[in-house]
């Protein structure tokens, strides 16, 4: 590693930058699948289930059974990025070798869309005495609790206090949704989405505050300009940064001067934010991307181009996507894993012929990062644990492989689980867990 240098300059990418044009050149030679031949299995149950206290640092004045052997290596990341017409060169701080190799396990899931039938069920779960969404996500706990960091995507804002709940197309959902997120074992959520501004800045403020009150951290929404800047926290002895971006806000705009309320996708900004996080000590940088076409499993040309640009920088260790509401491929691009889309972890879809049956499918995608004594980062091949939303049973999210192995699973449910698993294997087969 190079010696210490001055802190990185403030990125100059404007916060109001919109989506990346589809005409951006696509990467050449990006294969549809780059798959290992090793059989995949689940993460070791012997991994620690507790993570200790988190340490968070912010950037001052910045812009906005075991998986196979590791296949991704990040070493002495490139240190030059271009922001607009200004090249910005930063070098990570030199750090002394660690006494030991460290490992951190992570789990990610897709869109959480709390349509009105779900909150009606949550009301029924309490006998009309409140809202209880916890049974819907309870079956995920055995997958989420063993990992060091579990990340959800909360696509819908919480309704401002004292205001009515609303469903599509402009959401404002009950705060008790967050109780189910915390109870299932999630540590944090990405929150930048096309629905971020559905209930205005009051909805953003309430969402962040409710998550905070339940002990769930987030990236993608901000009550203050400082909250949108990159932060670094520690999990299992590894310093991590999690960034969250969206393609837009369904035509809405934040108030003038408050563009910092969320973060729009712009590759220069994303790379600059990742560099700022690295300067603060992040050893692993995760980027959540709200992108793609709804209902379409094939990544768009814009998704592929963005993934290529961002991973080519060497500044990011994993990209996790959502928004399509169906599963999308997992690929390794420029040596970095890209999960284009993890489907719906919880929703009422499909609600019309617009949505395919696969909009009930989702996944818990797990991955393990290893940080060597000299700071080299390696990532295991992702493992996909398929899920399916059982709307007839009260919108229960069922881990497909686990419940198919359970002799108590009812025959009708078993049939639907097999159909769901076949769809997921067709798209993500080599990554799907076998047990």
Q: Which residue segments constitute the domains of the chain, with CATH numbers given? A: 65-431 (3.60.21.10)
Instruction: State which H helix or E strand residue 172 sits in.
Output: none
* 43, 135, 166, 328, 417 from 397: Cα distances, Å: 20, 9, 22, 19, 11
Q: Which pLDDT value is given to residue 337?
A: 98
Q: What is the pLDDT of residues 364-396, one digit of tens each?
A: 999 999 999 999 999 999 999 999 999 999 999
Structure-token match 């419940």, residue found = 403
Sequence-ordered alpha helix ranges (H) in 10-112? none
Q: Which pLDDT value is given to residue 95?
A: 59
Displacement of CA 398 from its chain's centroid (Å): 20
Q: Are the C-beta atoms of residues 291 and 247 closer than 8 Å to each other?
A: yes
pTM over 0.85, yes/no: no
Q: Which pLDDT value is given to residue 96?
A: 61
SS3 302: helix
Token output for 374: 């000299």
Q: What is the pLDDT of residues 179-228, one digit of tens each?
A: 999 999 999 999 999 999 999 999 999 999 999 999 999 999 999 999 99
Q: Which pLDDT value is given to residue 21?
A: 32
Q: Are the C-beta atoms of residues 267 and 309 closer than 8 Å to each other?
A: yes
Q: Which pLDDT value is given to residue 280?
A: 97
**Residue 217: partners with Cβ closer than 8 Å, 6 or more residues away:** 54, 56, 187, 188, 189, 211, 233
- For the chain, residues with pLDDT lower than 70 are 1-96
Could you say which DSSP state residue 334 is in?
T
Q: Which phi and psi angles does 121 have, rounded to 5°?
A: -65, -40
Angle between helices 200-213 and 177-184 (to 10 degrees): 40
Half-sphere exposure of 403 (CA within 13 A, CB side): 25
């Amino acid at each position: 590693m190079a010696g210490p240098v001055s802190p990185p300059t403030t990125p100059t990418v404007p916060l109001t930058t919109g989506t990346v044009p589809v005409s951006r050149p696509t990467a050449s030679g990006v294969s549809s699948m780059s798959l290992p031949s090793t059989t995949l299995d689940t993460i070791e149950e012997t991994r620690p289930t507790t993570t200790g206290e988190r340490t968070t640092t912010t950037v001052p004045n910045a812009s906005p059974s075991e998986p196979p052997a590791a296949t991704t290596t990040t070493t002495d990341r490139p240190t030059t990025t271009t922001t607009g017409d200004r090249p910005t060169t930063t070098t990570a701080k030199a750090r002394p070798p660690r006494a030991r190799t460290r490992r951190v396990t992570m789990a990610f899931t897709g869109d959480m869309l709390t349509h009105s039938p779900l909150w009606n069920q949550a009301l029924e779960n309490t006998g009309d005495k409140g809202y209880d969404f916890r049974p819907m996500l309870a079956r995920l706990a055995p997958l989420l609790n063993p990992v060091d960091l579990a990340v959800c995507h909360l696509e819908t804002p919480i309704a401002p206090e004292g205001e009515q709940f609303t469903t599509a197309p402009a959401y404002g959902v009950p705060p008790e949704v967050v109780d189910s997120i915390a109870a299932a074992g999630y540590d944090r959520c990405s929150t930048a989405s096309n629905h971020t501004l559905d209930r205005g800045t009051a909805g953003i403020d309430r969402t962040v505050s409710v998550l905070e009150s339940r002990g769930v951290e987030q990236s993608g929404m901000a009550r203050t300009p400082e909250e949108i800047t990159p932060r670094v926290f520690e999990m299992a002895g590894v310093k991590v940064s999690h960034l969250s971006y969206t393609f837009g806000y369904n035509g809405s705009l934040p108030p003038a001067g408050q563009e910092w309320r969320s973060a729009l996708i712009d590759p220069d900004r994303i790379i600059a934010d990742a560099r700022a996080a690295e300067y603060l000590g992040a050893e692993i940088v995760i980027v959540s991307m709200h992108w793609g076409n709804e209902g379409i499993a094939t990544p768009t040309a814009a998704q592929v181009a963005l993934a290529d640009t961002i991973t080519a920088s060497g500044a990011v260790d994993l990209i996790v996507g959502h928004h399509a509401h169906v599963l999308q491929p997992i690929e390794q691009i420029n040596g970095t894993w890209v999960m284009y889309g993890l489907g719906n972890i919880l929703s009422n879809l499909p609600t019309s012929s617009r949505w395919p049956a696969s909009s009930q499918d989702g996944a818990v995608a797990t991955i393990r990062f290893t940080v060597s004594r000299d700071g080299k980062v390696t990532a295991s091949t992702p493992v996909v644990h398929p899920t399916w939303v059982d709307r007839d049973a009260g919108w229960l999210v069922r881990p497909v492989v686990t419940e198919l192995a359970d002799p108590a699973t009812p025959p009708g449910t078993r049939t639907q689980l097999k159909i769901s698993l076949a769809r997921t294997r067709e798209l993500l087969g080599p990554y799907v867990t076998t047990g």
